[in-house]
Amino acid sequence: MKVAIYCRVSTEDQAESKTIQNQVEFAKKYCDLHQLTIYKFYLDDGLSGTIPLEERPAGGQLLKDAESGCFGTLYVYRLDRLARTTLDILSTHQRLSRLDVGLKSMTESFDTSTPSGKFFMTTLGGIAEIERSTIAERMRLGKVRALAEGRWPGGPPPYGYKVIDKKLVINENEAKIIKLIFHLYTVEGMDTVSVADYLTAAGYPSPAASRNIEKTANVWYGSKVWGVLTNPVYRGEYIYGKNKTSDKQQKFSCPVIINVRSWKKAEQKLKSNHFNAKRNAKYDYLLRGLVSCGACGRNYCGDGSHSKGRYHYYRCTGTSSFRGKLVEKCSSKYVRADILETLVWQDVINYIIKSDDVLQQLQHKMMTKKGFKPQTKEISLLLKVITQKDKERGRILALYRKGIIGELEAENQLTIIEKELSMLQQRKSRLESLRRDSGQELQSDLSKESLTSQLQEKFFEASAALKRELMATMVNNIVVNTIKEDGEMVPQVVINYCFSE
């Protein structure tokens, strides 16, 4: 009857040079010595023994062939190659026994057909499990000790750093990109997706491309940019085990790439964007993020659950029953969205018209606010990159004319450049469109006379985007108090402006 050979190595085994090829060579010599006919080698390279046999690629095929009766005995280099826990070893042995398939080790002498052999196998399995646990604990303690000494515990370093003499040091080329990401997000006002689009189009190496990961396109995604903006390592604090509970985390200091001020600015903007995001809202709440409750201090949020196709409301988040039985619900009143938004919009117009100083302050703030200056800045950046791509295309054509590169290579390179240029042009067109739609041209000439007349003329026809931008710029916060009037509890609205008259 033919025999099967199962070989496996995990990462720690490879580190100790116990490669899978050593097991294969040993098995061939063993079978030649004992005159055994090999049906097939089943090789699981770089897989942990804690993974069940049926979930491994070669292990799963081995069990299928065993059920088909392709071999009569399974040989392993050592019992811990089959599994790392006693329970898994015994379970696999029982499964093979039901199929009349024997289990033998080429380096450990036991016969599973006898009671003493089964006992010995169980003992060896227990030893393998203890060995695995000991290795894991030793590795954990080694990392803990390295962290306590300020050394890198192992694995690839964060983007923006490199490891020299087991210490994290700044990778200057990658650090420039980290600083650019924070600048585009906090100073230029771009969102994470816009930053990712720009980095991709401009050809900045992504974390995967920087690590030379095979078959990985040099593409940035919004999630990668978000990961950079939220990683505390860039402000000088590396957290080991950040997915664990705080009591199991370890922190150590590392070189700073982003100063605390820029970090906090990015953190505040991320929180603000998260709260103010429109997401899938069917109604555009113009005052989202601006309204708070005078009774409990919590924020008001948009609520259309009681609209039944008629009205939308702003309500205090403290009125929700999902806060728990032990938390008292807020008694503040709901406010109809259309009434509150009209009230605030009218007050903003009156506030601007009657105040001379506010116009100058408004001009400065709106021209530096997201949606104005950021769009202009990013368009300027894109124009520079487009110019660089045009020059690059010219160099490719020059190389082709001189015969340095062939027609096929030139065509491939030009196709890549055209795709990049198309992406850049699309992004530029979109930004220019957004700038027009948000009324940036209107805001570029904020004089007392023109603004007053335009606001009066466009009061009823102003777009939701313009209303939202103007109110968000002018208003610091809106407090809804609940007062008793004529025996009834009614809302009272207080508008606090960013500017002093």
354 has a pLDDT exceeding 90: no
Q: With respect to CATH, is domain 3-145 assigned 3.40.50.1390?
A: yes
- What class does CATH assign to 161-275? alpha beta
156-165, 358-367, 456-465 — most confident range: 156-165
Q: Determine the Cα–Cα distance for residues 321 and 302; give it in Å rounded to an integer.
A: 16
Q: What is the largest CA-CA distance in the chain?
A: 104
pLDDT band at 370 (very low <50, low <70, confident <90, very high): very low
The residue from 10, 194, 262, 292 that is catalytic is 10
Domain ranges in the chain are 3-145, 161-275, 291-370+446-497, 373-437
pLDDT of res. 36: 93
Q: Reply yes or no on whether the pLDDT at 421 is more than 60.
A: yes
CA dihedral 383, 389, 394, 396 (to 10 degrees): 180
The fraction of the chain above a pLDDT of 90, given in percent, is 13
Q: What is the mean pLDDT of residues 344-360?
A: 74
Q: What percent of the chain has pLDDT over 70?
A: 71
Residue 144 is which amino acid? Answer: V
pLDDT at 80 > cutoff 90: no
Is 404 within 8 Å of 449 (Cβ atoms)?
no
10 is catalytic: yes
Token digits for 79? 């019992």
State the chain's mean pLDDT as an integer: 77
Cα angle, residue 490 at apex, residues 486 and 492 outer, rounded to 5°: 115
Distance between CA 283 and CA 307 in Å, rounded?
Answer: 11
Helix (H, G, I), strand (E, B) or coil at 315: strand
| Strand bridging mode 291-293 / 250-253 | unpaired
Phi–psi pair at 76, nearest 5 degrees: -125, 155
What tokens appear for 102 in the block?
Answer: 């024997």
Q: What is the mean pLDDT of residues 223-233?
A: 90
Residue 205 DSSP symbol: P
List Cβ<8 Å contacts ≥24 apart for 253-261.
253/150, 254/161, 254/168, 255/161, 255/168, 255/169, 255/170, 257/160, 257/170, 257/175, 257/178, 257/179, 258/178, 258/179, 258/182, 258/234, 259/235, 260/235
pLDDT in tens, 462-491: 677 777 777 877 788 899 998 888 878 888
Tens of pLDDT, residues 313-332: 888 888 875 555 545 788 88
* Token pair recorded at residue 6: 């199962």
pLDDT of residue 445: 45
Return the top range by mean pLDDT from 80-84, 226-230, 382-386, 466-470: 226-230
In whole angstroms, what is the distance from residue 121 CA to residue 165 CA? 44
Point out which residues pair with 9 in neighbouring strands: 45
Which DSSP letter does residue 299 get? Answer: B
pLDDT of 369 higher than 60 = no
Residue 367 phi/psi, 5-degree rounding, is: -75, -15
What was the pLDDT predicted at 276? 54
pLDDT of residue 42: 94
> What pTM does this model have?
0.48
Q: Show the tokens assigned to 463.
A: 């777009």
Torsion sign (Cα): 256, 260, 266, 272: positive
Distance CA 54, CA 366 (A): 62
